Structure formats: C-alpha cells, structure tokens
Chain A
Amino acid sequence: MKLSDFIVSEAIIPSLASTDRDGVLRHLVSSLADAGALPRDAVDEVVAALVKREQNGSTGFGKGVAVPHVKHPKVKKMAGTVGRSEAGVDFAALDHQPVYSVVLLLSPENAPQQHLQAMNIIFSNLQKDMFRRFLRQSATREAIVDLLQEADQGK
C-alpha cells in the first residue's frame, strides 16, 4: 500500500487555522467531505468519534506528529488527509509537546486489514526524521503532495 492510495490530495491543509485539537479534527474531516471523500452528513458523527478516540488516548505519539484515526460505519471508503500547523496544536501528546503535523485516517468498520496496512505506511514514514522535518517545512499543498509522492517512491 502507498500513501497516495488513501491520502486525498485535494483535502490536504497546508496551514491549519485552528490551534485546538477539536477544531483541527473538524477542519480536516470537513476538508475530506469538501473533496467528496466522505458524505457531508457524516462529518459531525465522524468528528465526534475522533474526539472520543482522542479522549480515550491521544494519538499524538510524540515528535510533533499526531495520527487521529477512527473506523466508522459512515465511512464507505478509506480516506486520509494531512494538516500542517505553524503555531502547533495541543493534542495532549504523549511527550507533552505541540503537534505540527497531523495525518488523519478514516476507515470503514469492516476492513481492519486495510486499516493496519495504512497505519503501517503512515508510521513507517513518520518514524523517519527527514520525512517529519520536510513535512513540517512544506508550506503549500503542492509541496506536501510532492513529499508524499517521494515517500511512496522510496526516496
């Protein structure tokens, strides 16, 4: 699996306006709906599920990145997007540091294997120092799309 298999380029937000977690989650989910990757009437429920998920345990795993994710019946096809914050977002991260890069993943309920593979490819990249640094520095949607493509090509 590749990042480009599920990251919706049009939904990438290179400059997040919100600096609070719930606002960022809503912004990213709405962006996926705007891009046609999620039914509009699913946005509220999916955001609520993501917030609940974060309350149960932060997906801010440290090093300035967070990977909010949820399996939800209203999600018919796996879809992901990326948000970048210059100011930093309080995700109640495990290392108590602000989050600058958010990779959001929405999965259908009935495809756990596919979900694991997507998480695998997301974390394989986020674990690389260079990938995290470039992602944080990519100020435009095009720059982020290029970075994801390069990651898919194994550069």
Chain B
Amino acid sequence: MPTASIEVVITNSHGLHTRPVMQFVDIASRFASEIKVHKGGSEPADADGKSVMQMIILAAEPGTPLRIDAEGADAAEAVSQLAKLVEDKFGEE
C-alpha cells in the first residue's frame, strides 16, 4: 500500500475546535486511505483522522505541530488536501 505523510502546524487563532474538525473529517472521509493524525508538542496524542470524537480530543491549540499519515491508494492526494486545509487556517483567521 502506498503511504504518505506530511507535517503541518495549527495556525488559526481558535485552534482545532469543532468546525475545523468537521471540515477535516469531511475531507478525510472522502478518501479510501486510512488516515491517522499525530499531535506533537508537549502532550502528544494520536487520532483517527476520520473520527470527529477522536479529533476533538486532540484539542490542538495554535502552534501545535500535527503529522498527517495516510495509507492507501489515494494517500498522497489525501495528505495534500488535508495539509492545504490546515495551512489555509480552515478558512478562519
């Protein structure tokens, strides 16, 4: 299975609250690949990128590094779109 991985940083001022999580899970769920999100920083944690509950539990604040790992036929496209969402601050400020 192809894999892909990318590192991003949360930069929107409200962090990974519900609305960004819903956007993330919505995009992640369009892909067949398995998607895992690893939160770095002082309180590392892992979440299934397709689970709203697990992603909310990450509670990633601005400045938090995330690593998005995908495994599956569409892994490269998945991490690319998800990284763009994070880098675009989820359409927020």
Chain A residues near B (Cβ < 8 Å): 56-57, 59, 61-62, 69, 94, 112-113, 115-117, 119-120, 123-124, 126-127
Contacts and interface: CB of A to CB of B under 8 A. Distances in A.
A119 B15 CA distance: 12
A120 B15 contact: no
A57 B60 CA distance: 21
* Chain B contact patch, size range: 10 to 19
B17 A61 contact: no
Nearest to A116: B59
B57 A116 contact: no
B84 interface: no
Contacts of A56: 19
A84 B17 CA distance: 24
Contact of A117 (B19, B22, B59): B59
A122 to B, nearest CB: 8
Contacts of B14: 112, 115
A112 B17 contact: yes
B18 A59 contact: yes
B52 interface: yes
B61 interface: yes
B57 A127 contact: yes
B15 A69 contact: no
The 10 residue pairs across chains A and B that have the minimum distance between CB atoms: A120-B59, A116-B59, A112-B14, A123-B56, A123-B57, A61-B52, A127-B53, A116-B15, A123-B53, A119-B56
B56 A57 contact: no
Given A57-B22, A123-B57, A127-B57, A113 B15 contact: yes
